[in-house]
């Protein structure tokens, strides 16, 4: 029995996230179909994370056990042959038997991209949020700095039917940058709650609009109430950037 770790990337525009769903196509479903054509089996695939509908991944990690002897390099080539053009396998390697793509993960990094020009960019439709309001990066970075460290992020978690557990996460990096018309927010942490990054972005855009002050982030964290934070930014500008393992 082998335990394989695969790194993939995908454009999420045509998918309802990573995880298999009953009434919608997902990245996991398409990946499993391609894998079955190669090894003739449907192993229990472990994904490093869940991604929402239309969210992209520059690096997404998968692990599964298999008794098939196909070499890693051949598996990469075969999967890329059968997968659609918006999903690609970057690498494959054998890992220890107890490795788990999700539970062995030490942290992740996300990036949210905003096209900050008056005129929309047709080539970024579905890949970046078009937001024409001026963005003061000094003001945004003062807000982002308050997210760094261990905090209870209840205020930055969408209210849904999931069972609530420990809402504390440790953010190790949170900053904004600009390259021409493209403004991006990068955040890394040991874990993320449901819609956490998108709520961070939506809240800080309220800071950019002058509806909140940078120091209000501290008050929003302390409130532990989703209603205290700003709106949830659209999913199309969000990318899972990197996944960290030991």
| Lookup: tokens for 20 | 């298999």
Position 163 scores a pLDDT of 63
136 classed as catalytic: no
pLDDT tens figures, 67-115: 999 999 999 999 999 999 999 999 999 999 999 999 999 999 999 999 9
Q: What is the pLDDT of residues 185-203, one digit of tens each?
A: 999 999 999 999 999 999 9
Query: What's the predicted TM-score (pTM) here?
Result: 0.95
Provide the 3-class DSSP secondary structure of residue 75: helix
Query: Is residue 175 within 8 Å of 112, Cβ to Cβ?
Result: no
Burial class of 239 by CB neighbour count within 10 A (0 to 12, 13 to 18, 19+):
buried
Sort 210 into a burial class: Cβ within 10 Å, 0-12 / 13-18 / 19+: exposed
Q: In this predicted model, what pLDDT tens digit does every residue of 212-224 receive, in sequence order?
A: 999 999 999 999 9
- Pick the catalytic residue from 11, 41, 44, 52: 52
């Amino acid at each position: 029995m082998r335990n394989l770790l695969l790194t993939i990337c995908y454009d999420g525009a045509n998918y309802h996230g990573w995880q298999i769903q009953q009434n919608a196509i997902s990245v996991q479903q398409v990946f499993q179909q391609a894998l079955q054509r190669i090894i003739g089996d449907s192993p229990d695939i472990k994904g490093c994370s869940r991604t929402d509908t239309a969210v992209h991944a520059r690096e997404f990690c998968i692990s599964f056990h298999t008794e098939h002897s196909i070499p890693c390099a051949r598996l990469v080539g075969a999967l890329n042959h059968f997968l659609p053009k918006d999903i690609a396998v970057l690498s494959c390697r054998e890992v220890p038997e107890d490795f788990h793509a999700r539970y062995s993960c030490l942290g992740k990094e996300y990036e949210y991209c905003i096209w900050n020009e008056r005129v929309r960019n047709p080539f970024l439709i579905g890949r970046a949020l078009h937001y024409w309001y001026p963005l003061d990066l000094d003001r945004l970075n003062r807000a982002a700095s308050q997210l760094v460290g261990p905090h209870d992020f209840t205020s930055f978690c969408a209210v849904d039917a999931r069972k609530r557990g420990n809402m504390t996460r440790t953010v190790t990096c949170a900053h904004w940058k600009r390259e021409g018309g493209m403004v991006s927010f990068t955040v890394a942490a040991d874990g993320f709650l449901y819609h956490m990054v998108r709520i961070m972005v939506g809240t800080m855009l309220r800071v950019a609009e002058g509806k909140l002050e940078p120091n209000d982030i501290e008050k929003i964290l302390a409130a532990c109430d989703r209603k205290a934070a700003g709106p949830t930014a659209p999913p199309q500008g969000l990318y899972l950037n990197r996944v960290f393992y030991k």
